[in-house]
């Protein structure tokens, strides 16, 4: 069996001593994607909420893009999780018979709350007027789709639109803590594992949340630029600068909290300290020091920080924003990697390390992981086709 061949190879690469059951690294790339994708959702939504609740006008062009991107990624968020199960066909048991003391069991409920109550409702109220208008203007399949999406509610009188706006606002206000809950909770799944000193930290939910905001904002920055490139539209530089500013601030807070967590570990230097310092300087050196900290944090921080004091020509800024956005997205991916994979590389005996080699094919290989990253982008393209923000009439709301 190929699976056993991999394990025999891993057995040869064991350094020091690990418990014999630890040779197989249980949570693979798919579980890296799960907090990554969920984080993109929470972050994109929080950016949209900033816009709406705090009335940050400069971010207006990204409002609908943020909501649709959040939806596109949220629809896929559970997929890597389900496909990673030993018995994917039993996943519904998590909803049917959740075990009340398990941190993992309420994920389904948090997820559904967020999808059904927050995101779908907010988008629906935001687009309801357009559904009605578009269902009258369009033809064929599109007309039918819009008609269905109105859910039979065709009143677009000013009074009705005002109510839409009010309800949408309330949902956004409810949505902000929900987004915090969604991703803080994902952090708790890891942070509450006392057996694993690399995970077990009260900071974990907060760090996950802040890094989610960082990645979500970067996602919208990049998405906004790409959309404008394909639509051959001029980019609103005021908007781009504002996103850059928020990205800069959230990276600072995120980096500060993560550093605090590490400094705390180093200073307390508990039983697990020796193995963790070997982990960071060895197996995680590339993914953590180079990819997460240098490429994903320090370089974007420097570029974005520089722009807060001096703004070079538009063309340079655009390029720099795009590069920073992509670097941040890559950096946060490696942050998730370092948490999920890093936490399983060392033995809970603290006497040694196992290894992880990601395969190309198979359900948990690189290709499968790539598919789960491409699918939300395709969904987003579809959503942008069906619900183009640029065709909305903003007079009513």
The residue ranges that bind another protein (CB under 8 A) are 1, 3-4, 7, 11, 16-24, 26-27, 84-87, 90-91, 93-94, 97-107, 109-110, 112-113, 116-117, 121, 151-155, 157, 160, 167, 189, 193-196, 274, 343-344, 347-352
Closest separation between CB of residue 19 and another protein, Å?
3
Q: 76: which 2 tokens? A: 């896929």
Closest separation between CB of residue 105 and another protein, Å?
4
Cα–Cα distance measured from residue 188 to residue 162, given in angstroms and rounded to the nearest whole number: 39
Taking the least distance from each CB to another protein, the nearer of 317 and 336 is 336
Taking the least distance from each CB to another protein, the nearer of 164 and 254 is 164
DSSP code for 239: H
Q: How far is CA 202 from CA 187, 208, 234, 257, in A?
A: 9, 11, 44, 11
DSSP code for 16: E
Taking the least distance from each CB to another protein, the nearer of 90 and 264 is 90
Q: How far is CA 270 from CA 161, 198, 264, 265, 389, in A?
A: 59, 11, 10, 7, 52
Cα–Cα distance measured from residue 15 to residue 88, given in angstroms and rounded to the nearest whole number: 33
Taking the least distance from each CB to another protein, the nearer of 202 and 260 is 202
Cα–Cα distance measured from residue 292 to residue 226, given in angstroms and rounded to the nearest whole number: 24
Cα–Cα distance measured from residue 376 to residue 328, given in angstroms and rounded to the nearest whole number: 19
Residues 372, 79 contacting (CB under 8 angstroms)? yes
Taking the least distance from each CB to another protein, the nearer of 55 and 271 is 271
Q: 193: which 2 tokens? A: 């594992």
Closest separation between CB of residue 340 and another protein, Å?
10
Phi and psi (nearest 5°) for 267?
A: -70, -40
Closest separation between CB of residue 239 and another protein, Å?
32
Closest separation between CB of residue 292 and another protein, Å?
21
Q: How far is CA 331 from CA 92, 279, 307, 324, in A?
A: 33, 18, 20, 10
Closest separation between CB of residue 207 and another protein, Å?
18
Taking the least distance from each CB to another protein, the nearer of 226 and 266 is 266
Helices (H), the chain: 2-12, 29-53, 63-77, 79-84, 93-96, 107-112, 121-137, 140-149, 158-191, 204-231, 237-268, 273-281, 299-309, 314-340, 342-345, 366-386
H/E stretch holding 352? strand 352-353
Closest separation between CB of residue 189 and another protein, Å?
8
SS3 of residue 353 by DSSP:
strand
CA angle 234, 236, 242 (to 5 degrees): 155
Taking the least distance from each CB to another protein, the nearer of 269 and 374 is 269
Which residues are registered as beta bridge partners of 352?
16
Closest separation between CB of residue 362 and another protein, Å?
14
Taking the least distance from each CB to another protein, the nearer of 9 and 319 is 9
Taking the least distance from each CB to another protein, the nearer of 3 and 264 is 3
Categorise residue 138: left if φ over 0, alpha if ψ from -120 to 50, beta otherwise. Answer: beta
Closest separation between CB of residue 97 and another protein, Å?
6
């Amino acid at each position: 069996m190929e699976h056993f061949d991999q394990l025999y190879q891993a057995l040869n690469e064991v350094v020091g001593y690990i418990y014999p059951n630890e040779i197989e690294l249980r949570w693979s790339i798919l579980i890296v994607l799960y907090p990554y994708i969920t984080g993109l959702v929470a972050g994109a939504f929080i950016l949209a909420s900033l816009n709406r609740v705090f009335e940050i006008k400069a971010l207006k062009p990204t409002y609908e893009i943020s909501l649709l991107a959040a939806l596109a990624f949220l629809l896929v968020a559970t997929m890597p999780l389900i496909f990673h199960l030993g018995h994917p066909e039993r996943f519904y048991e998590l909803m049917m018979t959740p075990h009340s003391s398990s941190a993992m069991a309420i994920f389904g409920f948090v997820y559904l709350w967020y999808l059904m109550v927050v995101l779908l409702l907010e988008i629906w109220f935001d687009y309801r007027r357009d559904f009605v208008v578009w269902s009258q203007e369009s033809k064929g399949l599109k007309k039918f789709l819009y008609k269905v999406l109105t859910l039979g509610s065709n009143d677009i009188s000013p009074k009705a639109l005002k109510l839409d706006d009010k309800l949408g606002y309330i949902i956004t206000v409810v949505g902000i803590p929900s987004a915090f809950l969604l991703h803080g909770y994902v952090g708790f799944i890891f942070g509450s594992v006392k057996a694993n000193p690399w995970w077990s930290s009260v900071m974990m939910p907060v760090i996950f949340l802040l890094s989610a905001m960082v990645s979500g904002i970067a996602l919208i920055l990049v998405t906004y630029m790409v959309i404008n490139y394909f639509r051959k539209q001029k980019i609103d530089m005021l908007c781009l600068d504002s996103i850059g500013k928020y990205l800069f601030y959230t990276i600072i807070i995120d980096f500060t909290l993560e550093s605090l967590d590490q400094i705390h570990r180093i200073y307390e230097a508990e039983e697990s300290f020796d193995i963790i310092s070997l982990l960071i300087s060895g197996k995680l050196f590339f993914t953590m020091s180079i990819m997460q900290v240098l490429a994903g944090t320090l370089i974007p921080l420097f570029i974005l920080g520089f722009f807060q004091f001096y703004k070079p020509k538009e063309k340079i800024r655009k390029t720099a924003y795009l590069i920073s956005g992509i670097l941040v997205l890559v950096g946060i991916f490696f942050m998730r990697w370092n948490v999920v994979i890093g936490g399983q590389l060392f033995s809970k005996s603290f006497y040694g390390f196992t290894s992880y080699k990601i395969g190309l094919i198979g359900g948990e290989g690189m290709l499968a992981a790539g598919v789960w990253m491409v699918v939300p982008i395709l969904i987003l393209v579809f959503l942008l086709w069906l619900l183009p923000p640029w065709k909305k009439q903003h007079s009513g709301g």
